Amino acid sequence: MSTPTERLTEAWKRPPGFVGWMSATNHRAVGVRYIATSLVFFVLAGILALLMRIQLAQPGLDIVPAEAFNQFFTMHGAVMMFLFAIPFLEGLGIYFVPLMIGARDMAFPRLNAFGYWIYAIGGTILFLAFFSGRGPDAGWFNYPPLSGAGYSPSATDVSMTGLGEFQVGRGIDFYLIAVTMLEVAALVAAVELIVTMFKFRAPGMSLNRMPLFCWSSLVTAFMIIIAMPALMTVSVMLELDRKFGTTFFDHAAGGSALLWQHLFWFFGHPDVYIMLLPAFGAVSTVIAVAAARPMSGYLLVAMATVAIGILSFGLWVHHMYAVGIALMGLSFFAAASMMITIPSGITIFAWIATIWRGTLKINTAFLFCAGTIVVFVLGGITGVMVASPVFDWQVHDTYFVVAHFHYVIIGGVILPIFAGLYHWVPKITGKLLSESLGRWCFWLTFIGANVTFFPMHQLGFDGMPRRVYTYLPEQGLGDLNFIATIGAFMMGTGALVFFVDAARMFWKGKPAGLDPWDGGTLEWAIPSPPPDYNFATIPVVRSRYPLWQQESIEPAVDRVPEGWRSFSDSLNGERTTYQTTLLEAKPEGRAFLPAPTLLPFWMAVAVTVIFAAFLPLVGFDTELILIPVGLILLYICAIIWNWPEEPFARSEVTDRESPGSLPHITTGRFSTVWWGMIWLIVIEAVVLGCLTFAYFYLRISVPSWPADDAVLPGWPPEGIPDPPLMLPAIAGGLMLLSVLPIWWGVRSVSQGNRSMLFYSLLGGIALAIGSLIVSAIHYTDRPFIWTENAYTSIVTTRGGFHVLHVAALILIAVPMALLSWRGYYDEKRFIGVQALSMYWYFVVAAWVVYFVTVYITPNMF
Amino acid sequence: MSTRQSIDQQTPVSQFTIWVGLLGAAGAWALHLVYSYSLVPAACTAGMGPLMYLGIPVFLLLAGGAGYLSWRVYEASQGPDGEPSDDELEAMKRLRFMALSGVVMSAFFFMVIIAQSVPIIVQDPCEAAGSIRI
């Protein structure tokens, strides 16, 4: 007879073999993949940096030609941001957040694996393009008009250089598609992290007891959800400009290059903090352990994290000081940029206070934290300087800015990442890294970073612009550039030492044991590496550092939470973890998690097929066929993903509720699916907000349209009639009407009336199809084509956004109607249709915004 | 009414109060930024500068109001009369954490609104780097 632990092991084990490896969905497997893959990209981007430094070591060198240099600095920035820093820190969160909050896995394990595959494929596409000479070359922020079809056409001349073949311009398509895929992956991970931290915290871990790394991961996840859809939206708009000829960013046709800058930096500046905050969380964790005491000012640090996360959305224009915005407008952002130093300073002073009051154990991880304080503060000081518009104008696009942001990123991201690696790798691998090699790694990296980037401040003052591939001897820039190159190689050697150390660790590293650092958070309560089920018994938390402040992480005898003991077993081979309330983390139910599957991989392949249509491969006309092929594949995968096992046994819900256990929550605000849908809707709402902003931004740009060009002023431009109201109102009215049967169907099934749901879904689908038909008549009847000017482009894109969503509703509702007809849904099991109804309401609300924006406002003013 | 009663009775209200207190000032700041920034061209060309001045006390009041709500929650979290039970102590700690967080956040975003109001007071909206555009 097997023991409970053996049954847990059997229930949670990963399938063997290559297919088993591919189908893994466990959060630790996915987290390690994110970390390992991002480190590969880190090495590649680091090699590019070294090649650029070789080219710049002396004036007039021609080792890296101009075309290659453009691709190198673009890839270096994009890869370090999108393929290394964010995925690494998300991977760290995916691995450690469930361990720190006492959960067995994340809320949506299959979605988690899907996110990884999308990330890996997107990154691979970008590097395949680069290695074939088609890398992006317009800088990581990819400004139009340089990145538009006019200056970077999809098919262009091939430039043969000493380093091989470089094709100017084609890489922009690869960049836009890869970035969009990476954004999808980041958004998936963000939703995962939020729902997991909301619902899977161990009993007793109320928000005021959550580890600071989790706080920072939570805030970061929210920031990703608000920021990243902006980049996705604007990337799609630029790709539409490039592939279909729309004119969002074409000034001659009423577009605005500044629109790109606004939307890009609305993402881009929070993106800096998306990288910084989880790294700060890692530093807060490591410093507390090194000082052997709880973090000083826990509340202030947690709130500083939240404040930074919110305020970072009000700084984006400080990247646009030189574009000609009115000075008062700039000053608002200058003020916010300076104020963000307050919460940043609070965090740093809390670190210093913790070190001051603790009993310090100096190890490699702590050294990296100490380096963080020094380097990040230096970067912060120059940050305050460039926050002033008048100072920024003097150094804009010079090496001073390069020095500033490298100090911020190396101090605020790279050094904390190394701290996190030296702190947590023993938990991941079960073996210790070398302390002596670790100190070599630290000093080489720390000294190398300062030797590389400190001289760049002066290079900027001397007038050396960013992104030049060479300079003249008489400019007097050679000596400092040479010093910077030496520093870069010191940093490179530091990174190399880490990888040598990591290889040595796998070969002959000492066993780490449970808790090599005497840590206080829950991840150190379980073996290294942890078993697949993480915790044999779900812990109960009564403090911020349970291993320091509690005698045991089991509950007191007289205060055992409901069903607690039933989680120490897996009688029917099920994978379960606690579901708890949002604020207090009181047990409210048990979540059943799915088994490993290859579906996430195939889903990622289907999405890749769709995106591949936009890559400059054999010709866009031919590639377009990939869109329907990918959509069909995606649809099939989605149906298989969501189709329940037949026969639809009632035991799925009820028989698992053995006496003494908690209920299996399948519906309502207590379910993880409900929360997941909420965040999906928020993401979509941000996309809608960005499109609405684009519409009004383009409209207020009308006075600056060129007077003698093809497009005539006015909104709609002269020659285009005001938008008609009749047909759009009918289409929208049908959608508004469709809310009723959907609402009624969900209400009926929740009250046990199963047949009514089927007819309600049919009614909703019929009304949605009717709305689509009326929309089609309206769109084919319009007196313009969408590529005519900025007005026609934005109006048609807004309409397309709406039509695609209605079509998606129909496609989702059809299999649900089939399931309903076969009797799957009942009063205990209707979260699927409940989620559909939430999405349905959002789509209808989005239509109202669309109708008011596009059809009402031009008729009003 | 004892404090114990106030905690228990206000629980449904407190959830709303707690979150408004925590995030209300940040929301006021965001609105102030969008409001002021979008009014700059009109302040220069259409003499709508007074509207920008009007926004300063309005949004400061909103931020201050959020802070006040959090302070009220904090006062309510001081604990019941007599010896509280373990559960009550836990609930008070949680409430105090959220309330103090709201006070800190409100104070910070109150200051940010003041900082962002300085340009409205000391600068001319027509003082442009290049042209009046946003």
Report the CATH number at residue A26.
1.20.210.10
Residue A514 domain-assigned? Answer: no
User: Is 50 exceeded by the pLDDT of residue B46?
Assistant: yes
Q: Which residues of A touch B124 (CB under 8 A)?
A: 328
Interface probe with A: pick from B22, B33, B59, B93, most Cβ of A within 10 Å: B33
How many CA atoms are closer than 13 Å to the CA of A183, on its beta-carbon side? 26
pLDDT in tens, A291-348: 999 999 999 999 999 999 999 999 999 999 999 888 999 999 999 999 999 999 999 9
Q: Least CB-CB distance to B127: which of A311, A327, A583? A: A327
Tell me what pLDDT residue B93 has.
86
User: Is 60 exceeded by the pLDDT of residue A43?
Assistant: yes
Q: Do A332 and B33 touch (CB under 8 A)?
A: yes
- Which residue do the tokens 């006492």 mark? A102
The two three-digit tokens of residue A675, written as one number = 């929360």
Rounded mean pLDDT, A41-59: 98
Rounded mean pLDDT, A2-30: 91
Residue A636 domain-assigned? Answer: no
Tell me what pLDDT residue A95 has.
98
Rounded mean pLDDT, A217-226: 97
Residue A539 domain-assigned? Answer: no
Query: What is the spatial distance between Cα A206 and Cα A203, in angstroms, rounded to a whole number?
Result: 8
Query: What is the spatial distance between Cα A192 and Cα A122, in angstroms, rounded to a whole number?
Result: 20
User: Would you say A293 and A355 are in contact if contact means Cβ atoms under 8 Å apart?
Assistant: no
SS3 B77: coil
Domain of A794 in residue numbering reads as 667-860
How many of the other CB atoms lie within 10 Å of CB of A824? Answer: 21
Residue A839's CATH number: 1.20.120.80
Mean pLDDT of chain B: 84
Size of interface A-B (CB pairs under 8 A): 115
Tell me what pLDDT residue A540 has.
92
Tell me what pLDDT residue A653 has.
47
Please report which confidence band the pLDDT of residue A859 belongs to, taking 50, 70 and 90 as the band edges.
Answer: confident
Residue A449 domain-assigned? Answer: yes
User: Would you say A206 and B94 are in contact if contact means Cβ atoms under 8 Å apart?
Assistant: yes
Tell me what pLDDT residue A663 has.
73
pLDDT in tens, B14-23: 688 899 999 9
Query: What is the spatial distance between Cα A264 and Cα A229, in angstroms, rounded to a whole number?
Result: 10
Mean pLDDT of chain A: 91
Tell me what pLDDT residue A573 has.
80
Q: Nearest-CA residue of chain A relative to B106?
A: A307
- What angle do helix axes B86-122 and B49-76 make, rounded to 10 degrees? 160
Question: Between A465 and B11, whose confidence is greater?
Answer: A465
pLDDT in tens, A646-670: 655 544 444 444 545 677 766 777 7
Residue A853 domain-assigned? Answer: yes
Q: Do A328 and B130 touch (CB under 8 A)?
A: no
pLDDT in tens, A182-207: 999 999 999 999 999 999 999 999 99
User: Is 60 exceeded by the pLDDT of residue A645?
Assistant: yes
Q: Do B129 and A206 touch (CB under 8 A)?
A: no
pLDDT in tens, B64-96: 999 999 999 998 887 666 677 777 788 888 889
Tell me what pLDDT residue B13 has.
45
Q: Least CB-CB distance to A328: which of B30, B93, B119? A: B119
Long-range CB contacts for residues A357-361, cutoff 8 Å, separation at least 24:
A357/A291, A357/A293, A357/A296, A358/A288, A358/A290, A358/A291, A358/A292, A358/A293, A359/A291, A359/A292, A359/A293, A360/A290, A360/A291, A360/A292, A361/A290, A361/A291, A361/A292, A361/A517
Q: Which of A454, A488, A508 is the last residue of a domain?
A: A508
What is the total count of domains within chain A?
A: 2
Q: Do B101 and A299 touch (CB under 8 A)?
A: yes
Q: Which of A457, A491, A508 is the last residue of a domain?
A: A508
Residue A596 domain-assigned? Answer: no
Question: Between A274 and A643, whose confidence is greater?
Answer: A274
Query: Which residues on neighbouring strands pair with residue A578, listed in sequence order?
Result: A590
Tell me what pLDDT residue A665 has.
66
Rounded mean pLDDT, A696-720: 76
pLDDT in tens, A729-776: 999 999 999 999 999 999 999 998 888 999 999 999 999 999 999 999
Q: Which of A472, A489, A508 is the last residue of a domain?
A: A508
Peptide bond into A716 cis (omega under 30): yes
pLDDT in tens, A97-150: 999 999 999 999 999 999 999 999 999 999 999 998 889 999 999 999 999 988
Interface probe with A: pick from B116, B120, B121, B122, most Cβ of A within 10 Å: B116
User: Is 70 exceeded by the pLDDT of residue A524?
Assistant: yes
Tell me what pLDDT residue A567 has.
76
Measured in angstroms, the CA of B122 and the nearest CA of chain A are apart by 9
| Best CA proximity match to A231, nearest among A192, A273, A258, A271 | A271
Rounded mean pLDDT, A425-438: 97
Residue A552 domain-assigned? Answer: no
How much is the ipTM here?
0.90
Q: What angle do CA B12, B13, B19 make, to 5 degrees?
A: 105
Query: What is the spatial distance between Cα A625 and Cα A597, in angstroms, rounded to a whole number?
Result: 28
User: Would you say B97 and B77 are in contact if contact means Cβ atoms under 8 Å apart?
Assistant: no
pLDDT in tens, A473-499: 999 999 999 999 999 999 999 999 999
